[in-house]
Amino acid sequence: MKTVSINLQEGKIKSSQDVPIHAIIPLDTVFVDMTTYLNGNHFGVLIQLQHHQTITTLQLTDVTPYVLLYFDAALHYKGAAYSIKSGTGPFTIHTPYKTLLFVRLPHDLKLNQIQKLSYDAH
Amino acid found at 27: L
**Residue 97: count of CB within 10 angstroms of its CB:** 17
Sheet of strand 31-33: strand arrangement:
31-33, 56-59, 92-95
pTM of the complete model beyond 0.75: yes
The rounded distance, in Å, linking the Cα atoms of 97 and 95 is 5
Check residue 40 and give its pLDDT: 67
Q: CA 63 to CA 79: how far, in whole Å?
A: 19
The letter for the amino acid at 1 is M
How confident is the model over 58-85, as pLDDT tens digits? 999 888 889 999 999 999 999 999 988 7
pLDDT in tens, 3-56: 999 999 999 999 999 999 999 999 999 999 998 888 666 789 999 999 999 999
What does the H/E/C string look like for the chain? Answer: CEEEEEEEEECCEEEEEEEEEEEEEEECCCEEECHHHHCCCCCEEEEEECCCCCCEEEECCCCCCEEEEEECCCCEEEEEEEECCCCCCCCEEEECCCEEEEEECCCCCCHHHEEEEECCCC
Mind listing the domains of the chain with CATH numbers?
2-118 (2.60.120)
Answer whether 19's CB lies under 8 Å from 114's CB: no
Is residue 122's pLDDT more than 70? no
